[in-house]
Amino acid sequence: MAIDQRLPRALIVLLTAAGAVGTLAGVRAVSSIVGPVLLALVLVIAVAPVRVWLARRGAPTWVLVLVPLLIVFLVLLGMLATITFSVVQVANLIPTYSQEFDVLMAQALRLAERFGVGSAQVNHAIASFDPGKVLELVQTLFSSLLGVLSSLLLIVVVLLAMCLDAPAFARILSAGAGHRPHLITALAAFTSKTRRYLVVSTVFGLICAVLDAGALYLLSVPLPVLWGVLALITNYIPNIGFVIGLAPPALLGLLDGGVRTMILVIVAYSLINVVIQSFVQPKFLGDAVGLNTTMTLLSLIVWTFVLGPLGALLAIPLSLLTRALLIDSDPSAGWAAALISGERPPPAGPEPRDRPPAPRPSSRSAPGPAGRAPVLPRPGEPRPEP
């Protein structure tokens, strides 16, 4: 009698959870190294079509390595310069609005007294709120990104190594398709989905950034270009990126132009970002993400906890990589892929009880003693002797 050697499902779940916690804790401990390496990987995937285009036109190997590297290097330098300038501007802007804040708080106190709210409660609320903390939060975000980009030497070295190994790595993956077809297909889907996600998010992020900066300029909000750059960066952060990009200019609109300006900023941002990110962008993005809303939010929380602000920016690509390695490479995990994507799994084959019953053998074809069907006489013919 066969004995079932499978482990209990509860033990499997506990071991899987323990392994995930241990892995994430280890990644967090070396996040200063893992973060730039993963950023370099995503950037190499983003510029891979340039290398393919050059290879098809017979470009030499050094061109295949140098051109994608220069593109990524220029992008990183542009982000570094923009974020550095932004941090300086925010640091100079914070102390200039202390008077306006005091005036607004006095007006809020008088308004609260009209509605019967005690002054002690209002004073406590005022003491617990400091607009400088919001701007300092933005400055901290930019400073964290600046700290990641300041390790430019590590990123460039990893990028150079990945660009050098990219052609050989592509050939190895093609050769391994016969041995690990599901894994190779999952990795190819990961690179394709990541590239599509980055391209679509960048294009629509630029559109949102230009429109947001233009609206802030028309409303005379200070530093409209800075907040446009912030809107572009936060466009890569799922779910809460819009709120992060809206808070600083709305607060500045309140301090600089009053409640009316703040309301106009909120309305302008809502119209621009909600329409583009909620109605237009998903039509072009399609199913490139492959994650439902809950999994997207959990990905944002987990990767931000593990890698910091860089994890928030790379939450979707990193979740796609995790899905490719753990789920899409396993042909028996189709139910898990359907669970995290929200799509219905493909229909399974019919169960044995659902199959049509086999036809019963008739008396004319019943096997004889020797295992053969006996030959019966036709009507009118004499029956053969036994």
pLDDT tens digits along 368-382: 444 454 555 555 555
Averaging pLDDT over each range in 87-96, 148-157, 215-224, 232-241, which range is the top one? Answer: 215-224
274-287 mean pLDDT: 75
The residue among 115 and 329 whose pLDDT is bigger is 329
The band of 352, judged by pLDDT with boundaries at 50, 70 and 90, is: very low
Q: What is the pLDDT of residue 287?
A: 61
Residue 265's closest CA among 278, 242, 246? 246
Least confident piece of the model among 43-52, 231-240, 320-329, 337-346: 337-346
Q: What is the DSSP letter of 271?
A: I
Using a pLDDT cut of 70, give the percent of the chain over it. 70
The band of 226, judged by pLDDT with boundaries at 50, 70 and 90, is: confident
Q: What is the pLDDT of residue 355?
A: 46
pTM value > 0.75: no
Determine, yes or no, domain membership for 374.
no
Is residue 322 pLDDT above 70, yes or no? yes
pLDDT digits (tens, 9 = 90+) for 162-196: 888 877 777 787 777 777 888 888 888 888 889 88
Q: What is the DSSP letter of 278?
A: I
10 Å CB burial of residue 246 (0-12, 13-18, 19+) is buried
Q: Calculate the CA 54 to chain-centre distance.
A: 28
Least confident piece of the model among 144-148, 258-262, 277-281, 325-329: 144-148
Total number of domains constituting the chain: 1
> What token pair was written down for 153?
């030497």
Determine, yes or no, domain membership for 113.
yes
Determine, yes or no, domain membership for 369.
no
Residue appearing with tokens 């049509």: 356
Determine, yes or no, domain membership for 25.
no
Radius of gyration from C-alpha coordinates of the chain: 31
Determine, yes or no, domain membership for 6.
no
The residue among 136 and 152 whose pLDDT is bigger is 152
Determine, yes or no, domain membership for 21.
no
Tell whether the torsion through CA atoms of 35, 161, 159 and 152 is positive or negative: positive
Domain of residue 44, residue span: 31-120+128-344
Residues 6 or more apart whose Cβ sits within 8 Å of residue 216? 224, 227, 228, 249, 253, 265, 268
Asked if 126 and 105 count as a contact pair (C-beta separation under 8 A), the reply is yes
Determine, yes or no, domain membership for 349.
no
Is residue 304 pLDDT above 60, yes or no? yes
Determine, yes or no, domain membership for 78.
yes
Q: What is the pLDDT of residue 363?
A: 46
